[in-house]
Chain A
Amino acid sequence: MDLTPIWLTLKLASVTTLILLLIGLPLAYWLSKGRSIIKIIIEAIITMPLVLPPSVLGFYLLLAFSPRHGIGKWLAETFNVQFVFSFQGLILASVIYSMPFMIGPIKSALQQLPVSLAQASYTLGKTERQTFIKVLLPNIRASVLTAIILTFAHTLGEFGVVLMIGGNIPNVTRVASIAVYDSVENMDYSSANAYSLILFCITFVMVISVFVFNKYKAKSPLE
Chain B
Amino acid sequence: MIKVDIEKKLKAYHGQQVLKILGEFPMGSITKIFGPSGSGKTTFLKIVAGLIEPEKGKITVEDTVWLDTSNHISLSPQERKPGFVFQNYALFPNMTVQQHLEYATDDQQWIAKLLATGKLNTLSTHKPEYLSGGQQQRLAILRAMAIKPQLLLMDEPFSALDPKMKSELITELKLIWGEQATTVLIVSHNPQELEGLTEREMEIG
Contacts and interface: CB of A to CB of B under 8 A. Distances in A.
Interface of A: 114, 116-117, 119-127, 134-135, 138-139
Contact of B84 (A114, A120, A135): A120
A122 B76 contact: yes
Interface string B73-97: 0001110111110101011111000
B51 interface: yes
Contacts of A125: 78, 81, 147
Contact of B88 (A114, A121, A124, A135): A114
Interface in B102-134: 103-104
Contacts of A116: 86, 88, 90
Nearest to B84: A123
B6 interface: no
Contacts, number: 55
A174 B88 CA distance: 54
B153 to A, nearest CB: 8
A172 B76 CA distance: 52
A121 B94 CA distance: 13
B41 to A, nearest CB: 15
Contact of B104 (A117, A119, A124): A124
Nearest to B149: A123
Given A119-B84, A121-B92, A122-B51, 14 more contacts: A114-B88, A120-B86, A120-B91, A121-B103, A122-B76, A123-B49, A123-B80, A123-B83, A123-B84, A124-B104, A124-B143, A124-B146, A135-B94, A139-B92
B144 interface: yes
Given A114-B88, A114-B90, A139-B92, A124 B103 contact: yes
A149 to B, nearest CB: 21
A127 B93 CA distance: 19
A119 B88 contact: no
Interface in B164-180: none
